[in-house]
């Protein structure tokens, strides 16, 4: 686990925060904790991404969160990059995220955080010590790419739905992880938040997915989790699951379905450090979690402007 400090970082301010949304219409209960969900950093040396990540972190910490959840695609790309380039990208991320101690931080694996799955372009064989998901695990001292923890009366589950397939990757949890999740959820009755990189369920995945030729909607397996139905059965069995956070799409949405709020949280990098993507500015999601399992949430642009392109 990495730590970040709030000291000297209160200049982020509240400007540009989207209006908060209540999870249910009721008097606001006592807040348990505030969570900043920052996903899809895609940090790299180019396009002022290093400066952007630093400012985004400063802005987020200015909101006084108690917990930072980093939702994957932390580096621009490790899948098809050489060891030297991947080392450079992780060095930037680590230096900024681990600047100093202060706030609990947890990380989900993104598809771009896996090293060398494209063996041709990365010049790897698959026998390298850091190959695949091992680099991510070693970087954060994790024993597994999925895990859980408790904080301030809430239960948090970090999932890994990055599954290697012949065509690259798909969003799949897999039977072993689903069985682990079932067991994990059975050990607690605390309100629970899930974090994955690829959405479990998202409206954003239907954007540009309709084919006039076939007359069908075609949501690819790399855009949404294929074993969603199995996961949903677990959520019905364990109704204390309240929130499922994701990224990956670089777009913002919210789907409330059968007691679970599925929140796709845009991207810190927006349009891969070239500004807003389809009107969604570079930003992060801020959630206030309450002791009774309710929450409020809002999307917060961190202040990207066209000067980053110069």
Query: Average pLDDT, stretch 275-300?
Result: 97
The verdict on residue 17 lying in a domain is no
Percent of the chain residues topping a pLDDT of 90: 84
In a domain, 211, yes or no: yes
Does some domain include residue 156? yes
According to the model, what pLDDT value does residue 28 have?
Answer: 61
Q: For residue range 244-258, list pLDDT tens digits in order.
A: 999 999 999 999 999
pLDDT score at 101 = 63
Question: Which CATH number covers residue 268?
Answer: 3.60.21.10
Which residue range is the domain that position 199 belongs to? 29-309
pLDDT of residue 196: 98
Q: Is 15 a domain residue?
A: no
How many other CB atoms are there within 10 angstroms of residue 53's CB atom?
A: 25
Total of domains in the chain? 1
pLDDT at 3 over 80: no
pLDDT at residue 22 above 80? no
What is the full DSSP assignment across 138-171?
Answer: HHHT-S-S-EEEEETTEEEEE---EEEETTEEEE
Tell me whether residue 133 is in a domain: yes
Task: Give the model's confidence band at 186: pLDDT under 50 very low, under 70 low, under 90 confident, else very high.
Answer: very high
Mean pLDDT of the chain: 92
What's the rounded mean pLDDT across residues 100-128? Answer: 94
pLDDT-derived band at 193 (thresholds 50, 70, 90) equals: very high
Distances in whole angstroms, Cα of residue 7 to Cα of each of 61, 63, 268: 9, 12, 22
> How much is the pLDDT for 86?
98
Give me the mean pLDDT over the 179-184 stretch: 98
Task: Give the pLDDT confidence score for residue 141 in this predicted structure.
Answer: 97
Contacts of 231 (CB under 8 A, 6+ apart): 173, 178, 181, 200, 225
Within-domain flag for 250: yes
pLDDT in tens, 84-96: 999 999 999 999 9
- For residue 7, what pLDDT is reported? 41
pLDDT above 70 (res 12):
no
pLDDT above 90 for 153: yes
Give the pLDDT of residue 98: 86
Question: How much is the average pLDDT of 121-150?
Answer: 98
Distance CA 111, CA 44 (A): 16
**If DSSP codes are grouped into helix, strand and coil, which group holds residue 68?**
strand
Region 200-225: what's the mean pLDDT? 91
Would you state the structure tokens that stand for residue 204, as one six-digit string?
A: 């954003």
**Cα–Cα distance, 172 to 274 (Å, whole number):** 30
> pTM to 2 decimals?
0.90
pLDDT of residue 46: 97
- Kindly state whether residue 5 falls inside one of the protein's structural domains: no
Q: What is the pLDDT of residue 50?
A: 96
Confidence at residue 19, expressed as pLDDT on a 0 to 100 scale? 46
Q: Please tell me the predicted confidence (pLDDT) of residue 99.
A: 77
Given a contact cutoff of 8 angstroms between Cβ atoms, the answer to whether 264 and 202 are in contact is yes
In a domain, 22, yes or no: no
pLDDT, residue 217, reads: 86
pLDDT band at 13 (very low <50, low <70, confident <90, very high): very low
pLDDT band at 9 (very low <50, low <70, confident <90, very high): very low
At residue 111, the pLDDT reads 98
Write down the pLDDT at residue 222.
93
């Amino acid at each position: 686990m990495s730590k970040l400090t709030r000291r000297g970082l209160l200049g982020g301010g509240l400007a540009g925060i989207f209006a908060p949304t209540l999870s249910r219409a009721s008097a606001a209960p006592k807040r348990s904790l505030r969570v900043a969900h920052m996903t899809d950093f895609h940090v790299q040396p180019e396009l002022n991404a290093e400066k952007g990540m630093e400012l985004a972190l400063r802005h987020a910490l200015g909101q006084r969160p108690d917990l930072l959840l980093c939702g994957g695609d932390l580096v621009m790309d490790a899948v098809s990059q050489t060891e030297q380039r991947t080392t450079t990208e992780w060095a930037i991320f680590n230096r900024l995220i681990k600047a100093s101690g202060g706030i609990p931080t947890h990380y989900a694996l993104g598809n771009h955080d896996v090293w060398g799955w494209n063996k041709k372009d990365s010049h790897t064989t698959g026998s390298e010590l850091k190959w695949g998901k091992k680099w991510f695990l070693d970087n954060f001292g994790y024993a597994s790419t999925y895990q859980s923890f408790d904080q301030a009366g809430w239960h948090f589950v970090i999932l890994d739905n990055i599954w290697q397939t012949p065509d690259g990757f798909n969003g799949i949890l897999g039977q072993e992880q689903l069985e682990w999740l079932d067991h994990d959820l059975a050990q607690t009755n605390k309100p629970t938040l899930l974090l994955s990189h690829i959405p479990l369920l998202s409206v954003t995945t239907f954007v540009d997915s309709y084919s006039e030729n076939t007359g069908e909607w075609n949501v690819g397996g790399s855009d949404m989790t294929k074993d969603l139905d199995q996961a949903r059965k677990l959520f019905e069995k364990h109704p204390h699951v309240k929130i499922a956070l994701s990224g990956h799409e670089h777009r913002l949405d919210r789907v409330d379905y059968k007691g679970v709020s599925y929140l796709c949280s845009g991207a810190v990098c927006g349009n891969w450090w070239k500004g807003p993507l389809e009107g969604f500015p570079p930003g992060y999601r801020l959630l206030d979690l309450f002791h009774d399992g309710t929450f409020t949430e809002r999307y917060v642009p961190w202040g990207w402007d066209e000067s980053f392109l110069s």
